[in-house]
Each structure stands twice: as C-alpha cells, then as structure tokens.
Amino acid sequence: METNPKNESQRLEALRSLNILDTLPEQEYDQITKLVASICDTPIALISLLDEDRQWFKSKIGVDYCETNKKYAFCNLAIQADDELMEVSDTRKDERFHENPLVNGKDQIIFYAGVPLRDKYGYALGTLCVLDHQPRTLSPQQREGILSLANQVIKLFELHAINRGLKKTQKQLKEKNAQLRNFAGVVSHDMKMPLANMIVTIDVLKAKYKGKLDEAGLDYLNNLKKSSFQLSDYISNILTHYESDSITNNEDALEKFDFHTLVEDIVEMLDIGDDCDITFPEDSDKIYTNRIALEQILLNLIGNSLKYNDKDKIEIHIDFRKEPHFYRFFVKDNGIGIPKDKQKEIFNLFSTAADNDRKGNKGNGIGLSTVKKMIHNLGGKISVNSVEGQETTFEFTIERTKKVN
C-alpha cells in the first residue's frame, strides 16, 4: 500500500518547516479530536502528520501509541486523494487494505474517514481522521462537522507558523538590541576619555596662550569647549539609556528611604540658584522602591523643568502620594510648555519638543525616552499635561514592591 504523492519532497519540506513534529500535546488540538470523535460517534480520532516513513499523531483519542509505520497508514492514501474527504465504510471489502495489519490484526480498523490538512500552498501535511472497529457511514451532518473541524486544525497550523516566526523575529531583535547596546556602551566609554582630554586641553590653551589670542580665537576655544560638553552630555545620556534595564532590574537597589531626603539630594546635585523655587510634598513619607532608578527619573524631569523655562522666576512643584498598588509622582513647572501635537512623541528616542533650552542649547531627545523606559520597567506609566507657554506637569507611577524580610 506504500505510495508517494506527487511533489513528495516539497510536501515534506513544507511539513518540516512547520516545526511541529514531535511537539508536546496541546489543548487546542486535543479539544478538536475530542469534538470530532463525539460528532462522528467513533472511538478513535486523530490529527496525524505524514513524515518520510512514519505517521505521527499531534493529537489522539482512542489509541495509546504516538506513531505508526507510514507504509500501513490510511492517511497516506487520504493525502493523495483529490477528494476533500476520504471515507472507507468497510476496509475488509477494499482491496487496498487486504494485507494491512491494522485491518487484519488485533486493532481491527474497519471504518476510516479522513480529511487532508492542506497548507496555503496546497501541500497535504496530514489528516484529521476518525476510525471505528465496525462498518459505518458518516451522515451529512457528520461530514460537515469533520470538514469544519479540519479547517480549524489548518488555522491552528497557520497560527503555529506565525507564532514561531514572531518568536524567531523577537529573538533576532533581542540579539540585535544587545549588540547595539554593547556597541553603544563600548563606543561611549571609549569616547568619554578623549573628550575629557579635549576639555582639559582647551583650558590649558586658554591659560597658556591667553595673551596671544584675540577675542575671536578665545571664542573659538569657548565654542569648542561648549560643544565638547554637549557631546559628553549626549554620550552620558546614551549610556544611561542603554544601561537603564540593568538599573531597574537590580534588586539590590531596592531600599526603604525618605522621599523628602531624596528630593533634597537631587536639588543639591542640580545646584539650583536663587531664580528657582521648588516646593516639596506636604507630608514626608517613607517609600520602598528602586532608589537609584527613581533618582535618575526625577533628576531628568526636574532638570528639564529648569532647562526648558523662560520665566524670570522658575517654579517647580513636586508632589507624591501612596496608592494601594502604586506610588504616584508629579513634577509641575511654569516653563515654556509642550505643543499639543508633540506631547505624545516626546517620549520617543531622539525626539525633542523645543528648539533650544534656557541657555540656548539644543536637547538630544534621549532623556524622556530613558525615563519612560525605566518607569515601564518599574511597572508604571508616565503621562504629560501641558499648556504651551504656561506650564507642564509630568505624572508617573511606580509599582509598589513588597519588602521581603
């Protein structure tokens, strides 16, 4: 009974590319075999796949083995037939099965009905079939049922292929992202030292040759120093962006601390002048979270409130409250505001809302992207509400972490 369908090599390639042979049982397939056995009132139902020399069952009802020799598989004939359903009412009366041990042996498979499972290219990968130990004929309703369920198996195969493709793409993206992160880290670290040397050299040149340089020459050196600082800041932001995952995933950074003290430390680091008033939350409270990550987030947001402000008196209001599952933070300022059409894109990497900051420097569009990434890693969300020319409020949450003693 062993025959090979046309284009067998292509069919086998299509089957193996699905990468489903010898996979573990899955509920979605088992539900179909149970249902088709019930509809057709048969003791055996199978989802079979025809490999080069074996028939393997992705799902089975009524048998205790997982595969058979392809030579004796009824499904091998079904996948070669042009009919949408191959039905054999009594295999004992069909000469194709006279020497088949599945008919003449202890199994006594007398009835068979199988629907070829064809992929989008028309290759029959296997069948959805029902078997019985006695002669029978499917009713019109049973035929319709098995055909409909076979179509669902095909859709499951298609979903399996899509999911496999997505997982492969996801793996490739992770690998590319890791490569990019490593590249950015190496390049950034390697650039910081030459930049520091350039800045020091500029100061040496200014000090040593100040009397020999005219005003234009000094301006050139000052501009060069300013550009070096900007590039150094850009590199630092790139490093922070790509290192944010390791910062937020560091469980050793979890600690209990006073929020007021954290904000005071940040204000001291930013060296805020007399032209700025910062108000703190009314109540000082202890919180338990990733202190390093929260410090980075607030440094960036408060720093932006200082930089992107055109008022004579900068006003920054910081607020905080505890919720059952989250800590909620607010950073509000009276700065230049953010145009409505840019309020969504400002969290994208390299996206900026303003042309220049308070000192005339152009932002690099890395900070808010890093902030959003860190907040997401901490189980929270960030949003912005702004009136152009008047004020901006950033609101973000961080998931509350239970302290493990």
User: pLDDT tens for residues 145-166?
Assistant: 999 999 999 999 999 888 888 8
The enclosing H or E element of 55 equals strand 54-61
8 A C-beta contact, residue 202 and residue 333: no
For all residues of the chain together, what is the average pLDDT? 84
**Hey, which residues does 397 pair with through a beta bridge?**
328
Terminal C-alpha separation, the chain: 69
What pLDDT does 43 receive?
96
Token pair listed for 48: 């079979």
- Whether the pLDDT of residue 198 is over 60: the answer is yes
CA distance 143 to 115: 10
Average pLDDT (183-190) is 64
8 A C-beta contact, residue 102 and residue 133: no
- The predicted-structure confidence for 125-146, as pLDDT tens digits, reads as follows 999 999 999 999 999 999 999 9
8 A C-beta contact, residue 264 and residue 279: no
8 A C-beta contact, residue 119 and residue 14: yes
What pLDDT does 245 receive?
67
Q: What is the CATH number of domain 251-405?
A: 3.30.565.10
Q: Where in the chain is the domain with CATH 3.30.450.40?
A: 8-168
State which amino acid sits at residue 384: V
Return the residue matching tokens 């509809």: 39
Q: What is the CATH number of domain 8-168?
A: 3.30.450.40
Closest of 157, 120, 163 to residue 21, by C-alpha = 157
**Hey, which residues does 330 pair with through a beta bridge?**
319, 395
CA distance 383 to 230: 27
- The predicted-structure confidence for 207-264, as pLDDT tens digits, reads as follows 888 778 888 888 888 778 777 766 666 666 666 666 666 677 777 778 888 888 888 8
The runs of H, that is alpha helices, within 73-214 are: 74-78, 101-104, 140-208
Strands 286-290 and 391-399: unpaired
pLDDT bin (cut points 50, 70, 90) of residue 405 is: very low
Q: Where in the chain is the domain with CATH 3.30.565.10?
A: 251-405
**Hey, which residues does 314 pair with through a beta bridge?**
276
